[in-house]
Structure 1
Amino acid sequence: MSKNKVIVLAVLEGGMSRSEAARRYGVSRRWVHELLVRHAEHGDAGLEARSRRPRTSPHATGEEVRARVLALRAELVSEGLDAGPATIAWHLEKEGSTAPAVSTIRRIITAAGLVAPEPRKRPKSSLHRFEAAQPNETWQSDFTHWHLADGTDTEIIDFLDDHARYLLHLSAHPRITGPIVIEAFLDTAAAHGLPASTLTDNGMVYTTRLAGGRGGRNAFETLIASLGIAQKNGSPGHPQTQGKVERFHQTLKKWLASQPQAHTIAHLNELLAKFRHIYNHERPHRAIGRHTPHEAYTQTPKAAPAIAAQGEHFRVRTDRVDADGKVTLRHAGRLRHLGIGRAHRHKRLILLVHDADVTAIEHGTGEILAEFTIDPTKGYQPKKHNTPGPKTGGVTDVPTHP
């Protein structure tokens, strides 16, 4: 028997006054009166404990907002994009709506049965994150596989800014080769400037450091060294060093899986261009304070290679040797004709221009064909006689993290 019922029986059948019952059972006289009224109206059921929860809440999330939260969740999931509470809040704010708290959004999607329970994750305190302090301080690069609709395997190469997660380059090819890596790097540098360093795995298109010293540097290593860019490579069998680009591949493949299958590489590259825009401009990133990569990339001054950071004039361009064995370069307001040699006519070159010094490297092989120090009083520039030719020798190991 509940205490409430005992109090009522003491008054109705025991003859106690309301004041006496209140004193004996340690309650207020008003409560005794309330119990008697409830019993008169509802019998013993009226004596049960009632919820103190208010019948209405002025701060409750409106049904319209709740419906939009669930609709956004469904849209983002169907597009293969992140659909967590913080991302949903970001999209609501971009739409001009007042977004509920992230915790409220989490409760809404959880109550709707849209959150699958996950095993206990590793605590954030156990993670040691390495992150560049400036845009262009470190570019990560790697490539991954993707199949066309008919099962044909392709390879997708990317360059990702370590500081901002900005997707600098993304393209698909039948196979990633050394010349493709060079081409992708130069296109990216032309659009965004040169990085101070690069971070890749130990694939042969990036480095020959694990080839036992055979063959010397490859084309990418030669180019990077000539530009004064620090080259960093992860430890073998330790992909965590390139964790950002590895995680990016998961995001990319999740999105591609939600799109119509590409039948050609050209079609796949159209999808990749669409994804690159979404990733850089329409998708907030948790690791950069819920900014988009484009916002993070453009809010901070860029880093540069050591020689550029010293204030010296430095540029890179590509050209092709003409039939007479020359290439033309504008320097100090005049066109200069650099004599590469007829033996190299029609070859494609990378010209590294550092103040008055010019190095001509064969595109795709990394071989240094000629070096010049421009004489500002002359139009024709003969090459130096001590041009070293291909660079040889091993590559010194570097740190395994940015």
Structure 2
Amino acid sequence: MSRDIVDGMKPKNLVIVRAVHDQGLSHVEAAARFGVTRQWVHTLVRRYEDEGPDGVAPRSRAPKTRPGTTVPAIRDRIIQLRRELTRSGADAGPVTIVWHLEQEGHPAPSTSTIRRILHTAGLITPAPKKRPRNSYIRFQADLPNECWQADITHWFLADGTRIEILDFLDDHARYLLDIRPAAAFTGPMVTAVMTELIRRYGPPMSTLTDNGLVFTTRLARHKGARGGFEKLLAAHGITQKNGRPGHPQTQGKIERFHQTLKRWLKAHPLPDTIDDLAVLLTEFTTWYNTRRPHRSLGRRTPEQAYTDLPKATPTSTSDTTEWRSRTDKVDKNGKVTIRYAGHLRHLGIGRAHTGTPVLLLVHDRDVTVSSMNTGQIIAEFTIDPAKNYQPKKP
């Protein structure tokens, strides 16, 4: 066997050349005999004369230049960004990497190219059972302040103490309006935070929360007055919306936000105190609102989305006055209790009526107390929300 063929040369090409050189066939005759074009015979003969047997070896058809190929420096930066973002607890997907490249002034490849680079580098774990994004039914408020979502989640201190975290999120912009820790949040504490936010940002058109007692008393075992949070919303004409029990998907944005929050917190050492956690949450707020592009916001930050459009305002015109009634018995100190705005209020009726069963008729802040034995009105009150003990009207 010819050494030329053993060296890997394509046998047919070499035979064609030798038919011309050794057997005296013309280019046209060789083309007809071997079923190729005359131009190809001419090319093979020229290569053979210039380079010898190596010249007729098969050649790659790949282009000599690849203008669309990602340069090594950008490829290395993509891998570096992926590792840095993952290590810091931030989102590290292709869309986020594109945003960071653009912020640094680098030309960014397509997200599909970035995904291939990350796959090649072994930095993506396949998730074949993950639900596709296009299968979700999405809802988003049209304007900032059209809907605020609120919820309570938790985190831990270094000694294992479980700490609650209260957060408020704008539905349209995903703007983090407020986040703070506490050992445990009560209704009045949540109401105070909401009051502060209304002063800071103006009242929203609506709120969306779960059915926790700090937000609503509508599912309480023992029906009573509306809580302080509910009364605050009513006073500002804010529409209150609550998710269906056992259906957290209704508050999907803030539930998804908690994933981002906890991934970021996991990348940092556990704080020693609640104050340390508060400092950490302040740092997170700045990063989340101003330095993190959001996929659902066209790669804008929540701060940009919140400030780009005018703010929605309350439109509620319904009667928010509270009407209810309850029965009680005057205690030995001459008092009965009633819950108003999340607090128990003590109504001073007088020891002369100790043991008397009474009917309380509540019209918002006004309470009329009558004896269930005689039907006679024995006391009237106007609740002062700043006080627990309520003296009767003269």
Q: State the TM bucket, normalised to the shorter chain.
A: 0.7 to 0.9
Alpha-carbon separation, structure 2, partners of 1:70 and 1:217: 54
In the alignment, structure 1 residue 33 sits paired with structure 2 residue 33: no
Counterpart selection for 1:65 from 66, 74, 85: 74
Partners of 1:219 and 1:366 within 8 A in 2? no
User: Corresponding residue for 1:294?
Assistant: 303
AA aligned opposite 2:310: P
- SS of 2:208's partner is strand
- SS of 1:306's partner is coil
Structure with bigger RCO (C-alpha 8 Å, 6+ apart): 1
Counterpart selection for 1:254 from 236, 242, 263: 263
User: Corresponding residue for 2:196?
Assistant: 187
Matches within 5 A, 1:94-133: 94-133=103-142
Deviations 1:242-281 (A, max 9, x none): 1100000000000000012101000001000000010000
User: Corresponding residue for 1:219?
Assistant: 228
- SS of 2:223's partner is coil
User: Corresponding residue for 2:219?
Assistant: 210
How many Å apart are 1:93 and its aligned residue? Answer: 1.8
User: Corresponding residue for 1:51?
Assistant: 60
Greater CA drift, 239-248 or 82-91: 82-91
**CA 1:168–1:91: 2 relative to 1, 3 Å:** same
Alpha-carbon separation, structure 2, partners of 1:86 and 1:123: 16
**CA 1:26–1:268: 2 relative to 1, 3 Å:** same
Alpha-carbon separation, structure 2, partners of 1:201 and 1:10: 87
TM-score by structure 1 length? 0.73
Deviations 1:338-381 (A, max 9, x none): xxxxxxxxxxxxxxxxxxxxxxx9875398668xxxxxxxxxxx
User: Corresponding residue for 1:348?
Assistant: none
Alpha-carbon separation, structure 2, partners of 1:238 and 1:14: 86
Partners of 1:198 and 1:232 within 8 A in 2? yes
AA aligned opposite 1:99: A
Partners of 1:138 and 1:162 within 8 A in 2? yes
Counterpart selection for 1:141 from 150, 156, 179: 150
**Percent of aligned pairs with the same residue?**
54
Deviations 1:9-57 (A, max 9, x none): 65466653321121344432231233345567464x7655422212333
**CA 1:71–1:124: 2 relative to 1, 3 Å:** closer
Alpha-carbon separation, structure 1, partners of 2:52 and 2:228: 90
How many Å apart are 1:119 and its aligned residue? Answer: 1.2
In the alignment, structure 1 residue 303 sits paired with structure 2 residue 312: yes
Partners of 1:76 and 1:82 within 8 A in 2? yes
Alpha-carbon separation, structure 2, partners of 1:161 and 1:4: 71
AA aligned opposite 1:190: R
AA aligned opposite 1:73: R
**Aligned residues, how many?**
325
**CA 1:305–1:366: 2 relative to 1, 3 Å:** farther
Alpha-carbon separation, structure 1, partners of 2:249 and 2:224: 28
Partners of 1:222 and 1:366 within 8 A in 2? no
**CA 1:104–1:114: 2 relative to 1, 3 Å:** same
In our comparison, the structure showing a higher alpha carbon Rg is: 2
Counterpart selection for 2:182 from 169, 173, 176: 173
In the alignment, structure 1 residue 151 sits paired with structure 2 residue 129: no
TM-score by structure 2 length? 0.74
User: Corresponding residue for 1:268?
Assistant: 277
Unmatched 5+ residue regions in structure 2?
A: 1-9, 318-338, 346-363, 367-379, 386-394
Alpha-carbon separation, structure 1, partners of 2:234 and 2:12: 86
Unmatched 5+ residue regions in structure 1?
A: 309-360, 371-384, 391-402
Deviations 1:130-179 (A, max 9, x none): 11111000000111111111100001110000000000010011112112
Alpha-carbon separation, structure 2, partners of 1:275 and 1:107: 30
AA aligned opposite 2:114: I
Partners of 1:160 and 1:169 within 8 A in 2? yes
Deviations 1:38-79 (A, max 9, x none): 567464x76554222123334433333223222222221111
How many Å apart are 1:99 and its aligned residue? Answer: 2.6
In the alignment, structure 1 residue 162 sits paired with structure 2 residue 162: no
Alpha-carbon separation, structure 2, partners of 1:186 and 1:249: 23
User: Corresponding residue for 2:210?
Assistant: 201
Counterpart selection for 1:229 from 218, 231, 238: 238
Matches within 5 A, 1:81-100: 81-100=90-109
How many Å apart are 1:235 and its aligned residue? Answer: 0.8
